[in-house]
Amino acid sequence: MTKLQFHGRSIIITLLVMLLTVALGGYAQNASATASVDFGLTTAGNQTQTSLSGVFTANQIIKLEVRASGTSAIIAHQFRLSFDSTYFAFVSGSSSIDNGVVEENRLKNNGGSIFLNTFTSAVSTSGTTSTLLFGVTLDGASQTQAMSVSGEGLMGVVALRVKAAFVANPTSTNLTLVNAKFVHYTIVSNENALGTTYNITHSGIISPSAPTLQSPATDTVNQATTLTLSWGSVTGATSYRLQLATDSLFATVVVNDSTLTSASKQVGPLLNNTKYFWRVNAKNAAGTSSYSSVFNFTTIVSAPAIPVLQSPATGAVNQATTLTLSWGSVTGAASYRLQVATDSLFATVVFNDSTLTSASKQVGPLLNNTKYFWRVNAKNAAGTSSYSSIYNFTTIVSLPGVPVLTFPSNGAINRPTTLGLSWGSVTGAASYRLQVAKDSLFATVVFNDSTLTSASQQVGPLLNNTKYFWRVNSKNAAGTSSYSSVFNFKTIVAVPASPLLSSPLSGVTVSAVPLKFIWYAVVGAANYKLQISKDIAFSTIVYDSSSITDTSVVLRTFDDKTTYYWRVYAINAGGSSASSTVWNFKTLLTAIDEINNPLPTSYTLLQNYPNPFNPTTNIKFGVPENSSVKIVIYDIIGREVATLVNENYTPGYYTMPFNATTLASGMYIYRMTSQSLNGDQKLFTNTKKFMLLK
């Protein structure tokens, strides 16, 4: 192998050496012999070298002619003649031909090798006509050099090395070495008839140039793990070698294929996320090119794994309408896609975001009380994972509405002390809170229950005759509503106490009618009920009235010589009291009355009897016609202490008992005022005094 420099390019060329042996004897003419050597030149600028060798005897001369035939222009370059000094010894002395002494000395001084000529010429050839490129002759003419050598009768080897280079791409060019003769210098005149001819033939083939890499471009990233490497086709190349390694020095080669016949190769599968280096050379019969420049690429990262959903857990309920969905981070993922839908087939997607770079996302506001389905996939340059398993959650119900109070109506009065409060049911409410207070600011709460699940609640016992305020709110998993408007109600007054009877006293005998029944007023009583019976068990009731609003009643009809029993109840909105104690009286109607005496002709007020008295006395009066009668008792300073009569009477005399049990001793006044009911506007008034002594 010889490394030659030509036009700045370094090319390794293989020399094909053909040894041609020609036997030459004495001064006889030698028979011609022909041999062919392939230069292997195919590309402009390429160089090659070949050698021709022959046997010679002492005192012979070489003549060399190099001719070219064909259609391409060439350059003949550096013709060298060398001798093997092992078999040939130079003699002293000078040659008579063409500066032989000088050449001889040069041969000696250069170890038996010398350039005959460095000849550069662009030569155009045509057809089969040969063109002289270089000649070594005896006549010293143009393009001729000659030398003589002496070998002192020993056999030796002379070699001609011819180097040549093209200036343009050849198609078919023959370099013919003609008349390379070993001739005795004394008979140079018939040199043309002597010697041996060597033909050097060019076949049109030279070593290929280095390929140019194309794809993928160097330093590219995110390349598939199975990909095609390609390069530019090289003229004259019959095969290529591709090397792929994980280092730039190709110490770790993963692909090494020298059998490629096309300018591309699919390689893989390779490792993900790995940097690879690659190069290519070209080859043909003339030799192998140097490697191309080295390209590199980096394979894509691995496709990401499937995300694992985390929160909220599947099947979760009462989730906020704005919430954060989270999943496990996936190694190598560049982004995630989150989908949220109202169906498990994701036909109705309400959230779809593929730009997420973290493993969580807040979504909302969503609908209340709605079941949602969600899933996630992961993505990077290598591709997109499958979707995760599907989780679902149900959002919390809507915040319940504000209850509307219904019963009792606002401002209701006379409500029982134990009563039911009710309000309209609220859709979605899980429970209610009822508060009852004595004030509208609910500073004094008497009832507070937040565990109610129905829209009503009985409360009590409350205080009688008391105003209460109440309100309700509703609650569910979403929260608590505002309170309703505030209603109020007032409880009924307390059931009044039993009345105390006043007159007629129990056990007395009544001698006159009409008879006035009197009892003491009861606080809180709205009206009274008087019952009179002929038996203590009140099985034979002769009088029963519950609409009495005063504390007395005048009755006129009684049987004579009969024992009567009477009792009084106090009544109000709170109910009826227990009965008073039962008193009795006996009638003995022998005194003056309206039946047995003549009717009065004028209004009359008689002095009471007895007088002074303790504690009861009788006051008698008479009216001549249907009249209203009112008799009022005053103390001595004019304060009203009792009303004895305030009713309408038919004509007649009437005796009304008066019981002063509750009065202090002293002088009192009773005054009668009466007016006709028949249209007469005249007013009768009369006043009398009486003394109470205790």
pLDDT in tens, 117-141: 333 333 333 334 444 443 333 222 2
Tens of pLDDT, residues 142-161: 222 333 333 322 223 333 33
Name the least confident of 13-22, 127-136, 341-350, 447-456: 13-22
Give, in order, the Cα–Cα distances in Å from 648 to each of 549, 604, 678, 683.
Answer: 16, 15, 12, 14
| CATH superfamily assigned to domain 309-395 | Immunoglobulins (2.60.40.10)
CATH topology for 213-299? Immunoglobulin-like (2.60.40)
Residue scoring higher pLDDT (688 or 165): 688
Q: What is the pLDDT of residue 114?
A: 37
Beta carbons of 73 and 122 less than 8 angstroms apart: yes
Beta carbons of 223 and 295 less than 8 angstroms apart: no
Q: What is the pLDDT of residue 25?
A: 27
pLDDT band at 302 (very low <50, low <70, confident <90, very high): confident
Is the pLDDT reported for residue 180 higher than 80?
no
Q: What is the pLDDT of residue 573?
A: 83
Around Cβ 445, how many Cβ atoms within 10 Å?
13
Per-residue b or e along 571-590, where b marks 16 or more CB atoms closer than 10 Å to that residue's CB? bbbbebbebbebbbbbbebe
Q: What is the pLDDT of residue 512?
A: 67
pLDDT band at 503 (very low <50, low <70, confident <90, very high): confident
Is the pLDDT reported for residue 95 higher than 50?
no
Report the relative pairing of strands 156-166 and 74-83 from DSSP bridges.
antiparallel
Per-residue b or e along 409-442, where b marks 16 or more CB atoms closer than 10 Å to that residue's CB? eeeeeebbbebebbbeebebbebbbbbbbeeeeb
**Which whole number is the average pLDDT over 374-393?**
95
Query: How high does pLDDT run on average in the chain?
Result: 75
Q: What is the pLDDT of residue 652?
A: 79
**Which whole number is the average pLDDT over 296-307?**
93
**Which whole number is the average pLDDT over 489-514?**
86
Is the pLDDT reported for residue 245 higher than 50?
yes
Q: What is the pLDDT of residue 589?
A: 67
Q: What is the pLDDT of residue 641?
A: 94
* Range(s) within the chain of domains with CATH label 2.60.40.10: 213-299, 309-395, 405-490, 501-587
pLDDT band at 682 (very low <50, low <70, confident <90, very high): confident
Q: Which CATH class is domain 604-692?
A: mainly beta
Is the pLDDT reported for residue 194 higher than 80?
no
Q: What is the pLDDT of residue 451?
A: 97
Is the pLDDT reported for residue 465 higher than 60?
yes
Nearest alpha-carbon partner for 91 in 49, 140, 152: 152
Is the pLDDT reported for residue 346 higher than 90?
yes
pLDDT band at 88 (very low <50, low <70, confident <90, very high): very low
Report the relative pairing of strands 515-519 and 508-510 from DSSP bridges.
unpaired
| CATH superfamily assigned to domain 405-490 | Immunoglobulins (2.60.40.10)
pLDDT band at 504 (very low <50, low <70, confident <90, very high): confident
pLDDT band at 649 (very low <50, low <70, confident <90, very high): confident
Is the pLDDT reported for residue 344 higher than 90?
yes
Tens of pLDDT, residues 435-451: 999 999 999 999 999 99
Helix or strand or coil: residue 186? helix
Tens of pLDDT, residues 522-560: 998 999 999 999 999 999 999 999 999 999 998 888 888
Is the pLDDT reported for residue 56 higher than 80?
no
What percentage of the chain exceeds 70 in pLDDT? 69
How is domain 501-587 classified at the architecture level of CATH? Answer: Sandwich (2.60)
Rounded CA separation 318/350 (Å): 19
**Which whole number is the average pLDDT over 419-431?**
95
Tens of pLDDT, residues 555-593: 888 888 899 999 999 998 888 999 999 999 888 764 444
What percentage of the chain exceeds 90 in pLDDT? 54
Beta carbons of 177 and 202 less than 8 angstroms apart: no
